[in-house]
Structure 1
Amino acid sequence: MDATFYIEKTVFNYRVAAVMIVDNHVLIHKQTKDEHWAMPGGRVELLEDSLSSVVREVKEELGIDVKVDRLLWFTENFFDYNNKNYHEIGLYYQVSPLNGSFNFHNEEFFGEEGERLVYQWVPINNLEKIKLYPEFIRTSLNQLPDAPQHLIVHKYSN
């Protein structure tokens, strides 16, 4: 069971995200019905640690075995989505493939879970032009932090 709780029009969400970089491109994804993009990942399950969760999510979504290199950001993210107020705890981990390299595509593609999510490798210097949430990602990938950063991210509306 996911570590997500619904209380009236408010949602508490515990999420992990994988930061995958190849040749100054980063992998992003979105639900096919959405206009905004995010980092690949998903919800942590109850009684699951975040490291195991990000490895599981990448395997489920992309069929790739990864190792966690390091924690980049710990976020407290407050936003509106589908007429609900979200309070999300997010951990963003830099990951690398266990065997070989990431499968780099120039075009959008679907992952292991079918057509629900679409993925795209995007040049990091083009992220400013993309509707990517949380917004700090668009500029923070230009220079990754030396040590984990704690960020409080304020609301946006979709």
Structure 2
Amino acid sequence: MSARKSTRLAAYAVCVENEEVLLARWVGPSGRRWTLPGGGIDHGEDPLDAVVREVMEETGYSVQVDALLGIDSIRRALPGTLSDTDWHGLRVVYATTVTGGELRFEEGGSTDMAAWVPLAEVAALDRTELVDVGLELARTRPPTGRNEGVLPA
């Protein structure tokens, strides 16, 4: 039996201010892990509009998009009850700046907290690899938008 194929397109924000990064705590099937604010792009929605919407939903902040940092491509085999899924994730990563709002937590969504985390403390967090990917894209600003420095888990 061949695996079912699935693709997910999402947009995420790297927002760094005063040596702190804005993170959201994702509630997934394997528990809670810190990640970049962002998420799935709705059908017909522009990725830039999606990241602005997602940051507001997950953190309470309005943001402006400063730059496209890159597109991260990951692929995973996901076991299923009837068949396995060959899953492909495309993650559009933007540099953003907070322009308004107040920090608050999402209710009834895929995240349950948001916080400013000192960059020096990120390595000690239970986090998704997307945090490292996004910070590396922000640090290196590769001209192709492809991150060669952090390989997906």
TM-score (norm 2): 0.72
Q: Aligned-pair distance for 1:64? A: 2.2
Is residue 149 from structure 1 mapped to residue 145 from structure 2 by the alignment?
yes
> Secondary structure at the residue paired with 1:151?
coil
Is residue 111 from structure 1 mapped to residue 105 from structure 2 by the alignment?
yes
Does the CA-based 8 Å contact 1:79-1:154 persist in structure 2?
no
Separation in 1, partners of 2:76, 2:152: 4
Point out the structure with the larger helix share: 2
How many residues align? The count is 143
**Partner residue of 2:14 out of 12, 19, 23:** 19
Separation in 2, partners of 1:92, 1:11: 20
Gaps of 5+ in 1: 1-6, 104-109
**What percentage of residue pairs aligned between the two structures are identical?**
24
Separation in 1, partners of 2:126, 2:19: 19
Does the CA-based 8 Å contact 1:72-1:148 persist in structure 2?
no
Aligned to 1:92: 93
Q: Aligned-pair distance for 1:126? A: 2.1
1:3-24 CA-to-partner distances (Å, cap 9, x unmatched) read xxxx965531101001111211
> Which amino acid in the other structure matches residue 70 of structure 1?
A
Q: Aligned-pair distance for 1:79? A: 3.5
* 1:52-71 correspondence to structure 2 within 5 Å: 52-71=49-68
> Which amino acid in the other structure matches residue 55 of structure 2?
V
Does the CA-based 8 Å contact 1:15-1:91 persist in structure 2?
yes
Aligned to 1:107: none
Q: Aligned-pair distance for 1:42? A: 0.8
Across the aligned residues of Structure 1 and Structure 2, the Cα RMSD in angstroms comes to 3.2
Gaps of 5+ in 2: none
TM-score (norm 1): 0.70
> Which amino acid in the other structure matches residue 111 of structure 1?
F
> Which amino acid in the other structure matches residue 73 of structure 2?
E
**Partner residue of 1:127 out of 106, 118, 122:** 122
Q: Aligned-pair distance for 1:144? A: 4.6
Q: Aligned-pair distance for 1:85? A: 4.6
Separation in 2, partners of 1:53, 1:77: 19
Query: 4+ residue runs of structure 1 moved beyond 4 angstroms?
Result: 7-10, 80-85, 152-155
Distance change >3 Å, CA 60–CA 20, structure 1 → 2: same
Distance change >3 Å, CA 144–CA 78, structure 1 → 2: same
Does the CA-based 8 Å contact 2:68-2:93 persist in structure 1?
yes
Aligned to 2:133: 137
